[in-house]
Structure 1
Amino acid sequence: MTLTITHARSGERAPSVTLWMMMVLTFVTGVVDAVGFLGLDRVFVGNMTGNIVILGMAVAGADDLPVIGPAIALGTFTAGAFIGGMVLRRRRKIWSGGVSVLLGSGAAVLGLLGLAYVVPGWSESSALELAASSATAAAMGVQAAVARSLAVADVTTVVVTSTLTSLASESLVSGGVKGLWNRRFAAIAIIFAGALVGALLLRFGVAVPLLVAALLTLVVVAWGHRSLHVPV
């Protein structure tokens, strides 16, 4: 009976609360993608479409683009998504303990990387740069798997191409200008804001935006676990 009541109470507030939390994670993606592209040798850590395009151009020898960083990021993002999927495969569309553990682990990775960049002499290390882009991509893969499991419509937290398509081809067509003001527009605006903030914070070094991303992710974990956690 207790479990049933918990499900019911969580279900009543889950859609709006989960939406807000996914928006915060979308902002985090914007921050870390700015770090990856501007601070870690032009590697996207959340947007894998960007990495595939960079790899294609790099293989063609265009503009001295990196190969190793984007390739490893693709692999670690995929590994992170796989791990997330395995953990959550039997607990879809609910905030289980697995969701908290996965997102908490991602926050820990971002936080540790941020602290590593504070250590004197480490910030210029190419090995740390590669480790940071790879580990951050893995954390974003986990985050993407969590977002897919929670299944908030139009908010994947890591990509907005499909969201932009839906906004233009459905919201704008059906509702005109008024149809723009919805979660689709919000997701696009928030990832833009995250990238803007990430780029600005990079002026203080790579550590600062990574630590901010870690803190925001921890806020989501605490908020979600407190508000929506369903024991299973």
Structure 2
Amino acid sequence: MTPRPQDAARTHLVLMLALTFTTGIVDAVGYLGLDRVFTANMTGNVVILGMALAGADDLPVLGPALALGGFLAGAALGGRVLRTAPPGWAHRSTVTFGATGVVAVALGVGAVVRPPDEGEAWALVVTTLLAVAMGLQAAAARRLAVKDVTTVVVTSTLTGLAADSRLAGGEGGGWARRLLAVVLILAGAGVGALLLRTGDQGVGLGLVVAGLLALACAWVGHARRDADRPA
């Protein structure tokens, strides 16, 4: 019996929420362990870069610039790979989400073996490649189009949560998924910060955890991809 479309939508929502949690880990690790760089939240990088270019003290320029470029490259690559893919979760979705997990795990293992120090070449390599991976994830999530859950930012989610609330005169629809997305990225950031307290290997451990979760999401999505197909 072929699963119903609503079952597929529910699966996709759960997977995208799980990836939102991993984004919290990745951005916490990047900001706290890689010289105040966001590898998923490009709004933060643009703001940091703008302040740094304006002469604000002790703000990095190279790291945010490389992360921004890497993210755009990853998103462009993901867009090209997925452009001709069928709607819903396709084989290429598995490849794209899986690539994000593989890159994160590989960088995490490398960072455990050789912990990156702020400003050094290895840290910049980790920053750039991780941003490429997050750009891939963002492009794949955008293609899947789960409402209110982009996996990499929650600004629009918060806006919808407030603007559509009963307090604002709306019907309050979709509040649960929006609130979950915010809570999960918050929880992920907390987990990432806690992992950094383990010592020099904290960056690597955070990336390994996030990467393994991303791989698990790719596997589950692939296993359930038939839910997208009509009976």
TM-score (norm 2): 0.90
SS at match of 1:41: coil
**Aligned counterparts of 1:114 and 1:153: Cα–Cα separation in 2:** 30
Structure 1 residues 19, 82: CA separation in 2 closer, same or farther (over 3 Å shift)?
A: same
The equivalent of 1:206 in structure 2 is: 203
Matches within 5 A, 1:60-209: 60-91=54-85, 93-120=87-114, 122-124=115-117, 126-172=120-166, 173-174=168-169, 181-204=175-198, 205-209=202-206
**Aligned counterparts of 1:174 and 1:134: Cα–Cα separation in 2:** 43
Q: Please, which moves more after superposition, 41-50 or 110-119?
A: 110-119
**Aligned counterparts of 2:144 and 2:132: Cα–Cα separation in 1:** 19
* Cα deviation, residue 201, structure 1: 0.8
Q: Do 1:28 and 1:217's aligned partners in 2 also have CA atoms closer than 8 Å?
A: yes
**Structure 1 portions without partners, runs of 5+:** none
Q: Do 1:92 and 1:150's aligned partners in 2 also have CA atoms closer than 8 Å?
A: no
Q: Do 1:69 and 1:130's aligned partners in 2 also have CA atoms closer than 8 Å?
A: yes
Aligned pair count reads 223
Q: Do 2:148 and 2:177's aligned partners in 1 also have CA atoms closer than 8 Å?
A: yes
* Cα deviation, residue 123, structure 1: 3.5
> Which 4+ residue blocks in structure 1 deviate beyond 6 angstroms?
none
**Aligned counterparts of 2:17 and 2:108: Cα–Cα separation in 1:** 22
Deviations 1:204-230 (A, max 9, x none): 221111100011001101100001256
* Cα deviation, residue 13, structure 1: 1.6
**Aligned counterparts of 1:13 and 1:71: Cα–Cα separation in 2:** 40
Among candidates 209, 216, 219, match of residue 222 of structure 1: 219
**Aligned counterparts of 1:119 and 1:184: Cα–Cα separation in 2:** 38
* Cα deviation, residue 180, structure 1: 8.0
TM-score (norm 1): 0.90
**Aligned counterparts of 1:203 and 1:10: Cα–Cα separation in 2:** 44
* Cα deviation, residue 11, structure 1: 2.6
Structure 1 residues 168, 92: CA separation in 2 closer, same or farther (over 3 Å shift)?
A: farther
Q: Do 2:16 and 2:141's aligned partners in 1 also have CA atoms closer than 8 Å?
A: yes
Q: Do 1:92 and 1:149's aligned partners in 2 also have CA atoms closer than 8 Å?
A: no
Pair 1:53-2:47 in alignment: yes
For the aligned residue pairs, the C-alpha RMSD in angstroms reads 2.0
The equivalent of 1:21 in structure 2 is: 15
Q: Which has the higher helix share?
A: 1
**Aligned counterparts of 1:159 and 1:92: Cα–Cα separation in 2:** 25
Structure 1 residues 77, 206: CA separation in 2 closer, same or farther (over 3 Å shift)?
A: same
Q: Please, which moves more after superposition, 222-231 or 62-71?
A: 222-231
